[in-house]
Amino acid sequence: MSNVHLHGLPLDQGLVLQEILWLFLPDGRFVSPEQPAQVVVTVQEENPGETIMVTVADGTHIGTGSAEPGQVHDEQKDNHRRRLIKLAFLRALVQCYGAVPGEWGILTGVRPTKIVHRALDQGQSVETIDRLLQEAYAVAPAKADLLLQVAQRQRLLFAKSTAQPQAVGIYIAIPFCPTRCLYCSFPGYDLSKHHRWVEPVLAGLEREIAAVGAALARTGRTVQHIYIGGGTPTVLTSEQLARLLGQVNEALRSEATVEVTVEAGRPDTLDEAKMAVMQAHQVTRVSINPQTMEETTLQRIGRHHTAEQIKQAVAMVRQAGIPVLNMDVILGLPGETAATVAFTMAEIAKLRPENITVHTLAIKRASRLTMEKAEWHFPEADEVTAMARVCQDAVASMQLEPYYLYRQKRMLGNLENVGYALPGQECLYNVMMMEERQTIWGLGVGAASKWIDPSSGELTENRYNPKDPLEYIKRLDEMIQRKVAQMEEA
């Protein structure tokens, strides 16, 4: 553990620098002056609004960095100061320890595309925004270009949403999985241990769907897209899945609904009966997530299926005539290399999915991977970057283009997650949820609701259903009443 003293800035404000510190010192933490420290960070600001200087010293190395005020449109005063401190801190760390890890500069948040969208909303040119990303946020040219590509493509989807001002999205959570994957931190319950909760949770979910659907209809709102995720929704029996999809169509779906996604992430949960149910209920998008096509890795990460089962599941999707197939992969899985990823992408290319989401492994606090971290060997940052290049070349050869992007803490190689799609086959839910441009009602255990003010387009509230099935059932009436009241008051 590397303790760090912070001078010239209150310790609580040092939190804005923590994630940049972790890029260089993964075990670094800011501590009070009474505690011993190996590193000293000094922030100097002569006068408000002037150049900020930061010095980093660890007894062996010393680095200095500065950041001068510049024009960033629509940046509040406090945000402006924080950005300059972060920029000067990054430059000091680079001088002290060497090249910056990764290409994202001081952008450590989940949604870097929001900076681009704000600038585009203000009418700034692509050239100006590109320069802004590189100079004001220290983003590398390749990542700046990626952000601009994604944002410009998303603007076309925003226009579809704006044409339906009363439209909302729906997320439905099924919190059960056949087993728990090594890296997973989502609310997910192993079906073999928690099967007794499936029917009570479904009964509660059906009540929530019915109440929310009725309130949407009363208040003149329509549902533009529906995403059934988890967990793994296809752990349900074909009868349970038919019951759920039937109610979804009856209570929520209309002619305004252009997209219905079902996550079938684990191919061993699919069979022809379930595919027939999805076909009969007009599901438009299915997600099958191999993560890798390497058999030994699948077993290593706790996915008890084979690469052949992935291919069989895809064949069932094609046979059922589902219009869009998504497939996910994860870069940086223990024991894998760029060559492994090249094999995975070559195998996936043969299956011709309309969407591919490329995730980079994040060491999430609530995952089994974090608890067992010492037992696993992870690829080095350079190898993970090579994996990303392999994927970029592969999706380009498949004529897939980037359309949404987000980042997470503790990602290997300081990389990102990117969704790719054939033109016109983008997942609308993914864009609206990630960019927070449309109200999303979350139904089911652990589901998140996001309320967007239609007049300002700003996110006004995030609220989560309980992650525990018993707590969800206990508090169901309260959650329904709150959602209905929120709709009727808006």
Q: What is the CATH number of the domain that holds 15?
A: 3.90.950.10
Q: Is 129 within the bounds of a domain?
A: no
Assess whether 84 and 188 both reside in one domain: no
Q: For residue 407, give both structure tokens.
A: 């980042």
pLDDT at 373 over 70: no
Share of the chain above pLDDT 70, in %: 93
If one compares 159 and 201, the residue with the highest pLDDT of the two is 201
Q: Is 152 within the bounds of a domain?
A: no
pLDDT at 73 over 70: no
pLDDT of residue 129: 96
Question: For residue 283, what are the domain limits?
Answer: 158-489
pLDDT of residue 218: 96
Assess whether 169 and 89 both reside in one domain: no
Q: What is the mean pLDDT of the chain?
A: 91
If one compares 2 and 389, the residue with the highest pLDDT of the two is 389
- Is residue 444 within 8 A of residue 205, CB to CB? The reply is yes
* Angle separating helix axes 381-397 and 338-349, nearest 10 degrees: 20
Assess whether 86 and 179 both reside in one domain: no
CATH number of the domain bearing residue 465:
3.20.20.70
pLDDT at 182 over 70: no
pLDDT at 164 over 80: no
Q: Is 113 within the bounds of a domain?
A: no
pLDDT at 217 over 80: yes
Nearest to 165 by CA among 457, 436, 425, 485: 457
Looking at 58-62, 75-79, 357-361, 464-468, which range is the least confident one? 75-79
Give the predicted TM-score (pTM) of the model.
0.93
Assess whether 301 and 409 both reside in one domain: yes
pLDDT at 186 over 70: no
pLDDT at 146 over 70: yes
Band of pLDDT at residue 5, cut at 50, 70 and 90: very high
Residue 244 CB neighbours (<10 A): 23
Which pLDDT tens digit goes with each residue over 415-466? 999 999 999 999 999 999 999 999 999 999 999 999 998 777 788 889 999 9
Q: Is 150 within the bounds of a domain?
A: no
For residues 409-414, average pLDDT: 88
Assess whether 450 and 356 both reside in one domain: yes
pLDDT of residue 265: 85
